[in-house]
Chains A and B, each alone.
Chain A
Amino acid sequence: MPRTSRFKSSLRCALLACAGLLPLSAAHAAGTLTIATVNNGDMVIMQKLSSEFEKQHPDIHLKWVVLEENVLRQRVTTDIATKAGQFDVLTIGNYEVPLWAKQKWLAPVKPDAAYDVDDLLPTVRKDLTVDGALYALPFYAESDMTYYRKDLFTKAGITMPAHPTYAQLAEYADKITDKTNQVYGICLRGKPGWGENMAFLTATVHAFGGQWFDASWKPTLDTPEWKAALTWYVDVMKKDGPPGAASNGFNENLALFASGHCGIWVDSTVAGGLLFDPKQSQVADKVGFTAAPSGTFANAPSWLWIWSLAIPASSKNVDDATTFITWATSKAYVDLVAKSNGWVAAPAGTRNSTYANPDYQKAAPFAGFVRDAIEHSNPDGQTKAPRAYTGAQFADIPQFQAIGTQVGQSVAALLTTSQTVDSMLSSSDRAVTRVMRQSGLLH
């Protein structure tokens, strides 16, 4: 075939093929729920078990959009802020719930009596309630705790106290560090981000008596409390942390600890289930756990993160969405997970009934500890000096995502450059002040 004819026939074929494939409006059919969620283990189980929900409710069809946490946050924020109505159910945290509820972006949730809303842990329920109305139902909740390697502690002749201090952790980390065998005394979040290194450091600063803003929204980064917290962090990370710590987030530290390279790790309680699982952890039989470290201010707000299911006000299927989220956070769902995946996989930190179950207590040795940590978490508690915001590992204002990430980048630079804590704090304080003035919160 001559080249010209071949070209023409190829083009014709391609055009015809494409005409056949022409799309494709994607109107969301009534009875179809689009659920946006993250790829965490508990959500993956929910997705797998959702066929049971569809069997019980044949008129409701579920569509899943699973995305990485930050992508999901950007995606649903764009959608909800523009009222595009692409999603019927959102997986969001207790950072977003109060902010979005106040913006009237979320529909209030009114579960029926069978749901037993009084069974929810009070701290969890309170954090999802705005002006007396629930705006999301808790899927699972987490606080923070300290994980350590019992074998390394025994070898070094150390006993981990029930309530360690930051100073003690630094001392122990130094004793068990064995860099020649790639065992690092302590692993902490170093990856910059408001939900990464700044989640850990915000809780640390609160424990050292510091805070992000005072009662009149004036940033208080350039203070001795911040300096003490960051100096502790930078010293211990440089001395006993793993190499490349500035790029380690939750997952990287989980991988390091699970493969035997960390002696101590302070992070979310959700890591317990992963570290005690021999399929995911090479040190499953050597993991010990204790309370998150305490600092100079004893009653600092403590870490609480709640992955919850909410319904955007722009959804056209609020009733069906309510049916789904009450199912996915119900006692019956917890039982269903236990039946299909074992009690150790049951969603943690949300219901009293889960913790009262002897099978769960037996399957999850850390269960009681996690319950105590969540029940005693006080994210809305007071810092040493009065503060204008709420939150333990974040400041619950829309500006915090930008502020936290910007300061987080400067903190990460402390680990990789010779910049001093003093100069970093002073420049960060100026930058945060600028943002707060622009936002109108600081006059």
Chain B
Amino acid sequence: MTPARKAALSRAALTIIGWGVALWVFFPILWMAMTGFKSEIDAVSTPPKFFFHPTLASYHEVFERANYWHFAINSIVISVLGTIVALLFSVPCAYAMAFSPTKRTRGTLLWMLSTKMLPPVGVLVPIYILARNAGLLDTRTGLVIVYVLMNLPITVWMLFTFFKEVPREILEAGRMDGATRLGEVWHVLLPLSLPGVASTALLSLILSWNESFWSLNLTSSNAAPLPSFIASFSSPEGLFFGKLSAASTLAVAPILVFGWLSQKQLVRGLTFGAVK
């Protein structure tokens, strides 16, 4: 076998493996989307049906029973606001840790990360009572505050990692040109680490969009986001997989499209600093 043929074969094998893994990862989403177009009987048939008579009955029922746009707008507002506020806190925090570290910096970072290890249900009652006393139950503000607190450890860690890649000398050059501390961050650091900031924002947005525990527990109707919309189509008595799949497809569609459009930025950000 010639080296060229060997290389071609290896490329073909890699392509097949790549497509295989991609399909494997994407299959649950594909199955969910397909099930949304099945009748309830087809949705639970054994063996599962790959070929079926498609129907929009589940979508019709979902739109008839719930106001999708009310939930979708809540999701957009809460996750976008939560992401912006998280960035407003985490940028100065990561800047300080990356460029003016103290002997406690590493410990602080680890402590922040350790808060992610606590199961949320462990603090449900205290947070519920705090939200009740502050009048924040079933408000977007309440959920934004919780999401900011929930995502801060991740955004600080990510930004800290990205900022560490920026040579200190560039910031010093800016300072020598008369930049203030804020100007140094605004005009030099953030533009230089834009891919990293963008991928941090995207991750925070996706985490907020998909979060279900707090959204189900802290909201009821006014501020309920899309996870509550999905949960309303599960039933203890009766077939519901078609409707649940239709609702889930509608709930993930916006973030899927957003992820598709921003994948270049996301990949660039996640590989930022990986190759020097």
A residues with CB within 8 A of B: 3-4, 7-8, 14-15, 17-18, 21-27, 34, 36, 38-41, 44, 47-48, 63-69, 71, 74-75, 78-79, 82, 84, 86-87, 182, 195, 249-251, 254-256, 258-259, 261, 268, 270-271, 274, 279-282
Q: Point out the residues of chain B lying under 8 angstroms from A195, CB to CB.
A: 236
Contact yes or no, A23 B139, CB < 8 A: yes
| Residues A25 and B139 in contact in the complex (CB < 8 Å), given A14-B84, A34-B220 | yes
CA distance A282 to B42 in the complex (A): 10
Contact partner of A68 (CB less than 8 A), chosen from B191, B231, B238, is B231
A to B CB contacts below 8 Å, 27 in the list: A3-B194, A4-B187, A7-B194, A15-B84, A18-B80, A23-B77, A24-B140, A34-B220, A38-B236, A39-B232, A40-B236, A40-B237, A41-B237, A47-B65, A66-B233, A67-B231, A68-B235, A75-B216, A78-B125, A78-B217, A86-B137, A87-B220, A250-B237, A254-B239, A259-B44, A259-B45, A268-B237
Q: Point out the residues of chain B lying under 8 angstroms from A78, CB to CB.
A: 124-125, 128, 217
Contact yes or no, B128 A84, CB < 8 A: yes
Contact yes or no, B224 A65, CB < 8 A: yes
**Residue of A8, A18, A64 with most chain B CB atoms under a 10 A cut-off:** A18
Contact partner of B220 (CB less than 8 A), chosen from A7, A24, A48, A65, is A65
5 other A-B residue contacts (CB within 8 Å) besides A39-B234, A68-B236:
A14-B84, A24-B223, A26-B223, A39-B235, A84-B132
Q: Point out the residues of chain B lying under 8 angstroms from A38, CB to CB.
A: 235-236
Does B40 count as interface, using CB distance less than 8 angstroms? yes
A366 CB → nearest B CB, Å: 15
CA distance A44 to B240 in the complex (A): 12
| Residues A66 and B138 in contact in the complex (CB < 8 Å), given A23-B77, A82-B129, A259-B41 | no
CA distance A245 to B201 in the complex (A): 43
Does B141 count as interface, using CB distance less than 8 angstroms? yes
CA distance A38 to B240 in the complex (A): 12
Contact partner of A26 (CB less than 8 A), chosen from B124, B139, B144, B194, is B139
Contact yes or no, B221 A23, CB < 8 A: no
B residues with CB within 8 A of A: 40-41, 44-46, 65-66, 77, 80-81, 84, 124-125, 128-129, 132, 135, 137-141, 144, 186-187, 190-191, 194, 216-217, 220-224, 228, 231-240
Contact yes or no, A39 B220, CB < 8 A: no
Q: Point out the residues of chain B lying under 8 angstroms from A25, CB to CB.
A: 135, 139, 141
CA distance A281 to B44 in the complex (A): 11
Contact yes or no, A3 B191, CB < 8 A: yes
Contact yes or no, A68 B137, CB < 8 A: no
Q: Point out the residues of chain B lying under 8 angstroms from A44, CB to CB.
A: 65
Residue of A nearest to B212 (CB): A71
Contact yes or no, B240 A251, CB < 8 A: yes
Residue of B nearest to A305 (CB): B237
A70 CB → nearest B CB, Å: 8
| Residues A68 and B41 in contact in the complex (CB < 8 Å), given A14-B80, A26-B139, A84-B128 | no
Q: Point out the residues of chain A lying under 8 angstroms from B140, CB to CB.
A: 23-24
Contact partner of B221 (CB less than 8 A), chosen from A63, A261, A281, is A63
Contact yes or no, A67 B216, CB < 8 A: yes
CA distance A79 to B234 in the complex (A): 21
B135 CB → nearest A CB, Å: 7
Q: Point out the residues of chain A lying under 8 angstroms from B144, CB to CB.
A: 23
Contact partner of B216 (CB less than 8 A), chosen from A71, A251, A254, A271, is A71
A276 CB → nearest B CB, Å: 13
The 9 closest A-B pairs by CB, nearest first: A255-B44, A26-B222, A23-B140, A66-B232, A68-B234, A69-B236, A39-B235, A63-B221, A84-B132
Q: Point out the residues of chain B lying under 8 angstroms from A34, CB to CB.
A: 220-221
**Residue of B224, B234, B236 with most chain A CB atoms under a 10 A cut-off:** B236
Q: Point out the residues of chain B lying under 8 angstroms from A280, CB to CB.
A: 40-41, 238-239
CA distance A64 to B231 in the complex (A): 13
CA distance A17 to B124 in the complex (A): 31
Q: Point out the residues of chain B lying under 8 angstroms from A261, CB to CB.
A: 46
Q: Point out the residues of chain A lying under 8 angstroms from B129, CB to CB.
A: 82
**Residue of B124, B141, B224 with most chain A CB atoms under a 10 A cut-off:** B141
| Residues A26 and B138 in contact in the complex (CB < 8 Å), given A82-B125, A82-B132 | yes
Contact yes or no, A84 B137, CB < 8 A: yes
B201 CB → nearest A CB, Å: 9
Residue of A nearest to B141 (CB): A23
CA distance A74 to B41 in the complex (A): 30
Q: Point out the residues of chain B lying under 8 angstroms from A68, CB to CB.
A: 231, 234-236
Q: Point out the residues of chain A lying under 8 angstroms from B44, CB to CB.
A: 255, 258-259
Q: Point out the residues of chain A lying under 8 angstroms from B139, CB to CB.
A: 23-26
Contact partner of A36 (CB less than 8 A), chosen from B124, B220, B223, is B220
A158 CB → nearest B CB, Å: 24
Q: Point out the residues of chain B lying under 8 angstroms from A254, CB to CB.
A: 238-239
Contact yes or no, B238 A18, CB < 8 A: no
**Residue of A34, A66, A75 with most chain B CB atoms under a 10 A cut-off:** A66
Contact yes or no, B238 A274, CB < 8 A: yes
CA distance A280 to B237 in the complex (A): 13
B114 CB → nearest A CB, Å: 25
Q: Point out the residues of chain B lying under 8 angstroms from A40, CB to CB.
A: 235-238
CA distance A90 to B221 in the complex (A): 14
Q: Point out the residues of chain B lying under 8 angstroms from A39, CB to CB.
A: 232-236, 238, 240
CA distance A71 to B214 in the complex (A): 12
**Residue of B44, B187, B221, B233 with most chain A CB atoms under a 10 A cut-off:** B221
Contact yes or no, A250 B239, CB < 8 A: no
Contact partner of A259 (CB less than 8 A), chosen from B46, B224, B228, is B46
Contact yes or no, A75 B217, CB < 8 A: yes
Q: Point out the residues of chain A lying under 8 angstroms from B65, CB to CB.
A: 44, 47-48, 66
A327 CB → nearest B CB, Å: 20
Contact yes or no, A7 B235, CB < 8 A: no
Contact partner of B128 (CB less than 8 A), chosen from A24, A64, A82, is A82
A207 CB → nearest B CB, Å: 23
A365 CB → nearest B CB, Å: 19
Contact yes or no, A251 B238, CB < 8 A: yes
CA distance A351 to B194 in the complex (A): 67
Contact yes or no, A86 B220, CB < 8 A: yes
Q: Point out the residues of chain B lying under 8 angstroms from A7, CB to CB.
A: 190-191, 194
CA distance A276 to B44 in the complex (A): 17
CA distance A22 to B82 in the complex (A): 11
Residue of A nearest to B73 (CB): A21
Contact yes or no, A282 B191, CB < 8 A: no
CA distance A25 to B44 in the complex (A): 42
